[in-house]
Amino acid sequence: MHPLILMSDAATGAIPMRTAIRRLSFGILLILLVSGILLLSDWNRGNTAKHKIPRLALFKFQSQPLVDEGVGGIIEGLKARGFIQGQTIRIEEFNAQNDFATANGIGRAIEDGGYDLAITVTTPCLQAMASANRAGKVMHVFGLVTDPFIAGVGLKRDRPLEHPRHLVGIGTFEPVRNALLIAKKSYPALRRIGTVWNPAEACSQACMLVARRTCKEIGVELLEAQAENSTSVGEATSSLLARGVEAIFIGGDNTVEIAMSVIVKLANEGRIPVVTCAPGHTDEGALIGLGADYVEVGRAEGQLAADLLCGRDPATVPIINLTPNKLALNLSVLRRLQAKWEIPPDVLESAAIVITEKGQRTEKARKPPASPQPAAPLPKK
C-alpha cells in the first residue's frame, strides 16, 4: 500500500476555508455599506424635496409709500403663518420702476423662473403677470388692485369663484365717492375740482368713472387733465390751475402718485387743497387722504398666499373686495388756502391720522382688520 501523500495548500493553489469565509464576509459587508449609503442619499434627497424652502416672487410696479405699505403687510401676513424670509421661505422682489415694458419683461421672467408662487401688487403688475402666465405655470396672487374685473385677466364680477385656477387675489376699490363727499362737506361752496390721471391705467379709469358720477351728483364740475407719464404731471396740474379749479383730486393712479410732491407744490402756490385716495399723501401736504389701509390689505394678501402654499385649493378662493378705510387729515394746510375750508367735527373724529395746525402728527391705534366683502359692482357710466 502506498503511503498517503499530503500536499500543502500552497502547492495545490487551493484557498483555505477560513480565508474564503473572511473574504466573502468582507464583500458582503462592503455591499451592505454601499447600499446603506445609497439608501441614505435617496432618503435625504426625498426628505429635502419634501421639505424644500418655497421660492416666492414679489412683484411691484414702483416704490412709493402706498405700495411699500402693502408690501410690508404682505411680509407680515406670510410671517404670521410661519413663512419667514431666509428661514422657511425665499422671497425675491422685483420692481418695474414705473415702466410698463419693464413690467412685461419681469412677468415673463417670473413665469419662467421656477417659482412656487408669484405675488403682485398694483394693477399694472397684475396685468403683466397674468399676460405672461396665461398657461398657469405659476400660481399667482394679486392685491392692491382697484378693480380687477376690468383688468382684462379673465375675472367675472358676478361670479367671484369663476376665475383661472392659477389666478386669485383681492380687489381694493378706492373710496373715491366718500373722499369727494368729504371735500364738499369741508367746503360747501366748492364748484370746480380738477384731476390728473393716466388713461392707460385700468385702475385710474375705474376711479374716473366714480369721480365723474359723484361730481355730477353733488353739483361740482370735474375738470380733467391727462398725464401719460410722471414727468408730465406738473404740466397737467398747471393747466388745471389755469382753468380756475378750487381743489385738486387724485384717485388711484400709479403714474400720478409718483409725482404727488409736484402736485402739492403747485397746489400750494395756487393756495388750493389736494384731496386724494391715499392716507399717506397728507404727509406730503395733501389736506384730505381717504383710502384703504394697505398694511391690512397686504396682510390679507400675504395670508392668502400662505394658504395656497399650505395646500388650499385655489378653486375655493373667491375674488373679493377688501377696503378697510383709513382717513388722514393735514390741518396745517388750512391756513395756506385762499378759500375757507373747515373740517367738520364728525369727520375730524373719524380720522385715524391728524396733522395739527402746528404740524404735530397724531395717530389712533390700529383697529382690527376689516372682514373681506363681496366685490362691489362698478357704477355705470
Average pLDDT (104-108) is: 97
Chain CA centroid to CA 321, Å: 14
Most confident of 11-15, 109-113, 367-371: 109-113
The pLDDT value recorded for residue 8 is 41
- State if pTM tops 0.85: no
The pLDDT value recorded for residue 254 is 87
- DSSP 3-state percent helix, strand, coil across the chain (nearest 5): 45, 20, 35
The pLDDT value recorded for residue 365 is 72
Among 34-38, 162-166, 223-227, the range scoring the smallest mean pLDDT is 34-38
- Asked if residues 329 and 343 have their Cβ atoms less than 8 Å apart, the reply is yes
- Asked if residues 271 and 338 have their Cβ atoms less than 8 Å apart, the reply is yes
Q: At what angle do helices 65-80 and 294-309 cross, to 10 degrees?
A: 40
Average pLDDT (351-370) is: 82
Average pLDDT (196-224) is: 95
The pLDDT value recorded for residue 256 is 94
How far apart are alpha carbons 326 and 343 in whole angstroms?
16
* Among 137, 115, 133, 113, CA closest to 125: 133
Average pLDDT (268-276) is: 97
Contacts of 267 (CB under 8 A, 6+ apart): 237, 241, 248, 273, 274, 285
Average pLDDT (104-125) is: 97
Domains and CATH numbers, the chain: 55-173+295-321 (3.40.50.2300), 176-293+324-367 (3.40.50.2300)
